[in-house]
Amino acid sequence: MTNNNLERNIILTGFMGTGKTTVGRLLAERLDRRFVDMDLLLETQFGKPISAVFAEEGEPVFRDAERTLCAQLAQERGLVISTGGGALVDPANRAALGQTGMLLCLTATVDEILRRVETAEDRPLLGERSARRQRIATLLHARRDAYGAIPHQIDTAGRTPEAIINQVLAALAADGEAPGMSVLPVHTPEGQYDICLGDGLLRHAGHLLANRGLRPGPAAIVTNSRVAEHHAKTLAGSLREAGFEPHLCLAPEGEQHKTLATVATLYDQFLAAKLDRNSPIIALGGGVIGDMTGFAAATYLRGAPFVQIPTTLLSMVDASVGGKTGVDLPQGKNLVGAFKQPAAVIIDTAVLGSLPPAEFASGMAEVIKHGIIGAPALFEMLETGLPRPEGPRHKHLVAEAVRVKIAVVEEDPFEQGRRAVLNLGHTFGHAIELVSNFTIRHGEGVALGIIAATHLAAVLGRCDPALVDRVIQVMDRHRLPVELPGYDSGAIIAAMGHDKKRAGKTLRFIIPQALGDVVIIDDPGIAWVQDALGRVLGK
Ligand code: NAD
């Protein structure tokens, strides 16, 4: 951590009841810094409780005073500040405090917040006790974009102040490595690795890897010419700065080259670069490069350290996390592979700037999928968000989607059970891809597959039919196909028979029962499957 970073203010915000004041006070003690509780300061200024300021002078007067205080605090250094719950809803206040400090948002669920504020008297925005739950949900919904724009999100549910403080300190340390970076740890049976997430991280990649125990010296950057043209130079420069000797190892472009033959050409390039068992093998590219490089790293000299630097949205939120690597055979996709956990994953959301719009949309299908599986708030954000968000919102969206993948792979690292939920939409989707002769992209097939799976849930009476409309609208909003006229349902159902993910002879589907509640069902009955598919085909 640099001195400069030590002096930056630490600003804790979040909804009432998330623990900003408790955590802030303890953190200030731990770091020997001055603690500023903005609400307390404002009460002193007004000479009365905030509820009285609201009642007697009105909310706008309070917000004006809050804005002035934010501007004043931004002039100081070395503070730990806990803001009022609504203070950073105003983007001007976020910008002012963010100039000289690190912003962190503490989060909790509606029920957890309700539990914590149940007995509170001075909560002017909450009103009558009986209506509090609804009021909290409405306010959280209204503030979700503002809170979501804060780079560091810290979940407080069920955690002690000590655990939260440790996460704040880890975020602070990470910020010293690369400003604005978030670190998401992933626990695996073999240990733990970090996902470093931020805008512009490629420039810091060398130090990020050296700080995570990767040995400077020869290293491979495996990529293709399209990705190399945009991003290899920045990565190689940053690696050199940290003492690595990067060798560019090129693979041909496209899924058709995700083969053992290409892996063999990578081994040749690794040997020519004199890589040994400790030399990092770095995948710089989308899921094709990541899967193939991971397999090459798992097998070269019986295993070398592997690093993922995903460059497509799909590979950021899905393929780069979880350790599944492999190649295709003429008989089918991903038929040969290995579990190989990365030593680190570096997600630089800025590289998405060069990604073609159709590839971005394809990745959004997986983001939406993760929202349905385990992040209802993410799904709701996508219902109103821009098709191609930028800046902090972008990072937030990737972070939320990755968190879902982390939770699932931590629970089931070797795909023995629960991890199958990540295949939501894939039984229909793969078959649609196959029947289209791969003219329909993977993400497009997944989007159509998720819609079909939601129809299936509805016709089976397992979900509210209104969910189907919400799913269709969100896909449409993010430029994904929502219907597939002109295709034959018989051919698609026949193609499902070839799905590698079939368990024995059963036909397996993942269906949503509600947002955040997906289940695995086997052989639901072909008539229901035909009915659901027919609704997507317009029949
Ligand atoms: P991809 O790797 O083919 O990339 C898509 C296209 O974008 C390619 O042409 C690529 O060269 C180009 N590209 C990549 N990054 C770019 C950038 N920043 N700027 C410009 N162009 C860029 O496709 P994908 O969708 O990333 O990945 C699909 C693959 O991922 C499939 O092989 C699939 O099996 C695999 N996958 C693996 C897992 C897993 O858990 N291992 C999960 C999901 C998917």
| Burial of residue 99 (number of CB atoms within 10 Å: 0-12, 13-18, 19+) | exposed
- Rounded Cα distance between 382 and 233, Å, is 34
Q: How far is the CA of 324 from the centre of ligand 1 (A)?
A: 14
Provide φ and ψ at 356, rounded to 5°.
-60, 145
* Residue 166 confidence (pLDDT): 92
Among all chains, which residue has been given the structure tokens 């979940």?
A: 155
How many other C-beta atoms lie within 10 A of the C-beta of residue 14?
25
* Residue 367 confidence (pLDDT): 97
Query: Taking Cα atoms as reference points, which of 537, 498, 503, 500 lies closest to residue 523?
Result: 503
Question: What pLDDT digit, counting tens, does each position of 219-275 carry?
Answer: 999 999 999 999 999 999 999 999 999 999 999 999 999 999 999 999 999 999 999
Q: In the chain, what percentage of residues exceed pLDDT 90?
A: 75
Q: Which atom of ligand 1 is nearest to the CA of 294?
A: 41
| Strands annotated E in 163-268 | 182-188, 191-198, 218-223, 245-250
CB-CB contact of 432 with 449 (8 Å): yes
| DSSP β-bridge partners for residue 171 | none
β-strands 324-329, 306-310 pairing: unpaired
- Rounded Cα distance between 9 and 175, Å, is 12
- Rounded Cα distance between 247 and 272, Å, is 10
CB-CB contact of 178 with 198 (8 Å): yes
Residue 366 falls in the annotated catalytic set: yes
> What DSSP string runs through 467-492?
HHHHHHHHHHHTT-----TT--HHHH
Question: What pLDDT digit, counting tens, does each position of 6-35 carry?
Answer: 578 999 999 998 999 999 999 999 998 999
Among all chains, which residue has been given the structure tokens 């385990």?
A: 374
Q: Measuring CA to CA, how many Å separate 330 from each of 44, 190, 438, 439?
A: 74, 32, 14, 18
Return the H-helix or E-strand segment holding 320.
none
Q: How far is the CA of 189 from the centre of ligand 1 (A)?
A: 26
Provide φ and ψ at 449, rounded to 5°.
-65, -40
Query: Taking Cα atoms as reference points, which of 325, 329, 271 lies closest to residue 300?
Result: 271
Q: How far is the CA of 289 from the centre of ligand 1 (A)?
A: 7
* Residue 4 confidence (pLDDT): 44
423 CB within 6 A, ligand 1: no
Span 323-349, average pLDDT: 94
315 CB within 6 A, ligand 1: yes
Return the H-helix or E-strand segment holding 311.
none
Span 501-508, average pLDDT: 70
Minimum CA distance residue for ligand 1 atom 5: 286
Minimum CA distance residue for ligand 1 atom 20: 355
449 CB within 6 A, ligand 1: no
Q: How far is the CA of 207 from the centre of ligand 1 (A)?
A: 26
Question: What pLDDT digit, counting tens, does each position of 423-439 carry?
Answer: 999 999 999 999 998 89
Residue 430 falls in the annotated catalytic set: yes
* Residue 1 confidence (pLDDT): 37
CB-CB contact of 304 with 331 (8 Å): no
How many other C-beta atoms lie within 10 A of the C-beta of residue 331?
8
Q: What 3-state class would DSSP assign to 10?
A: strand
Pocket test for ligand 1, best of 309, 314, 348, 501 (most atoms within 8 A of CB): 314
pLDDT at 120 over 80: no
- Rounded Cα distance between 357 and 328, Å, is 26
Question: What pLDDT digit, counting tens, does each position of 128-176 carry?
Answer: 667 888 889 899 889 988 888 887 889 898 889 999 999 999 888 888 8
Q: Measuring CA to CA, how many Å separate 160 from each of 26, 45, 170, 358?
A: 12, 32, 16, 44
Residue 231 falls in the annotated catalytic set: no
